[in-house]
Amino acid sequence: MGSQLFAPATAILLRMPHKTTSRPKPRSAAIKSKPGTKSKAKTKAKPEAEPVAVPTPLIAEELQSFDAGEEDAGLRLDHFLVARLPEISRVRVQQLIEQSKVLVNERPAKASLKLKGSELIEVTGKVEAPALKAIAEDIPLDVVFEDRSLAVVNKPAGMVVHAGAGSPEDERNRGTLVNALMFRFNKLSGVGGELRPGIVHRLDKDTSGLMVVAKSDRAHQKLAEQFSTRQVSKTYLALVHNWPKDDTGSIDDPIGRDPRNRTRMSVAGIDPRNALSHYTVLERLLTPYGRFALVEVKIDTGRTHQIRVHMASIGHPVVGDTLYGAPEYLLPRTLSREQQGNAISVRTQVRRTKSHGAGAATMSLDRNFLHAARLRFVHPVSGKVLEFEAPLPKELEEYLARLRKSAESIS
């Protein structure tokens, strides 16, 4: 395989479809894999929903009152409330106090107030969240294609698609894709609200690759319908740990929020929704750092962290994805231990990298080895099929090249 997997991202294919129709959703019984592919019990999931973002609602706190007792004497007010309101974060508690929504004996108080143990403490309202609005910023943007209705961009890893909760001036809301889009284009669709103008679908912060952006509301609605009815083709490249048993397979497991870690998603999560991924092994690498597989993944749905969750669930976490079990560093003697009959699991690799730390012989990647390489959809106005390809970013090409070179030393 050559060093570059795809043609430059500027390559565009246009053709007229014979007919554009909504494909029915595939049923679990119709999915087939090669013999040996693990079959998992299906969890009842919620039906599909359009991937159109909506503004974040205000977070309301329930009106409550507490009596401080002798055992609370000496405690700070904010520490007292954090202990009494486990469902509310420490930051939210401090915001309530700052906005005078907490009264001590019917008077506003500071967070640092030391309780005496005989006070009446009341939470009288909710946090008044500031209106969130994206801010235009002059940020370099790789625009692959654009016309009056839409644009296709190649998002770099490390860039958040849109701002999260917090003040518009918050540092966390700087450097987003939306901010870059607002500076580059005069107009974007308003369907997603002021926080997410033009955004029809998303990529994780540490995932790079192709995204389509809507410039008009009409284009946004048409594109969102295509995503919802699975007419958009999305293909990713990923480097994963270990070798999949079969060269092709499908993972049909609903995904929901991980009940033990709110930053993670899980195939055994809360409020699961249907998720379907198909993978094909393009290359198997036998290296001193272990076994790796370069895979192409096509997804029929667009759940949060879908590919990362699905691949990790079958024992093949994406390289660099420490959130889902990949080690932070690759150790050079991993394969030799395996060849001596000591099977090295990814979990064991994680434990060993924590004890060894970074070193001259280790390899690390400060992002996930996951890239949205191909995107195909029907133009919402002209009806033409547009197809785009983006090659692996330089840092992924170089990482893969280093692994291939290390593989030659043991061949």
The span from the CA of 9 to the CA of 146, in Å, is 13
Q: pLDDT class for 332, splitting at 50, 70, 90?
A: confident
Please state the length of the chain: 411
pLDDT digits (tens, 9 = 90+) for 263-272: 899 999 998 9
Mean pLDDT throughout 71-92? 86
Amino acid at 184: R
Helix (H) / strand (E) containing 183: helix 177-184
pLDDT (0 to 100) of residue 34:
40
- In order of 96, 100, 115, 368, the CA distances from 104 in angstroms are 13, 10, 9, 48
In sequence order, what are the beta bridge partners of 370? 238
Residues 6+ apart with CB under 8 A from 373: 5, 6, 209, 210, 235, 236, 237, 296, 389, 390, 391, 392
pLDDT (0 to 100) of residue 135:
86
DSSP three-state, residue 118: coil
- In order of 14, 164, 258, 353, the CA distances from 271 in angstroms are 39, 22, 10, 34
Residues 6+ apart with CB under 8 A from 379: 149, 150, 385, 386
Percent of the chain, pLDDT > 70?
Answer: 74
Q: 172: which DSSP letter?
A: G
Tokens of 116: 């005496």
The span from the CA of 165 to the CA of 114, in Å, is 30
Say if residues 80 and 27 touch (Cβ distance below 8 Å): no
Mean pLDDT throughout 351-370? 73
The span from the CA of 252 to the CA of 31, in Å, is 8
Instruction: Give the orientation angle of helix 90-98 with respect to helix 77-84, to 10 degrees.
Output: 130
Strand ranges for 142-193 from DSSP E: 143-146, 150-155
Percent of the chain, pLDDT > 90?
Answer: 61
Residues 6+ apart with CB under 8 A from 382: none
Mean pLDDT throughout 379-396? 98
Tokens of 57: 């609602």
Q: pLDDT class for 336, splitting at 50, 70, 90?
A: low
- Is 247 labeled as catalytic in the residue annotation? no
Closest CA to 315 of 271, 276, 279, 356: 279
Closest CA to 20 of 376, 385, 389, 302: 385
The span from the CA of 360 to the CA of 410, in Å, is 19
Residues 6+ apart with CB under 8 A from 341: none
The span from the CA of 254 to the CA of 273, in Å, is 5
pLDDT (0 to 100) of residue 8:
53
Model confidence at 92: pLDDT above 90: no
pLDDT (0 to 100) of residue 18:
39
Helix (H) / strand (E) containing 403: helix 394-408
pLDDT (0 to 100) of residue 36:
44
Mean pLDDT throughout 194-207? 94
pLDDT (0 to 100) of residue 31:
32
pLDDT (0 to 100) of residue 61:
45
Average model confidence (pLDDT) across the chain: 82
Domains of the chain: 12-21+132-408 (3.30.2350.10), 64-123 (3.10.290.10)
pLDDT (0 to 100) of residue 46:
47
pLDDT digits (tens, 9 = 90+) for 250-259: 999 999 999 8
| pTM for this prediction | 0.69
pLDDT digits (tens, 9 = 90+) for 108-164: 999 999 999 999 999 998 877 665 678 899 999 999 999 999 999 999 999 999 886
pLDDT (0 to 100) of residue 167:
44
Helices (H), 275-393: 306-313, 334-339, 346-356
The span from the CA of 107 to the CA of 319, in Å, is 54
The residue annotated as part of the active site, out of 72, 78, 204, 253, is 204
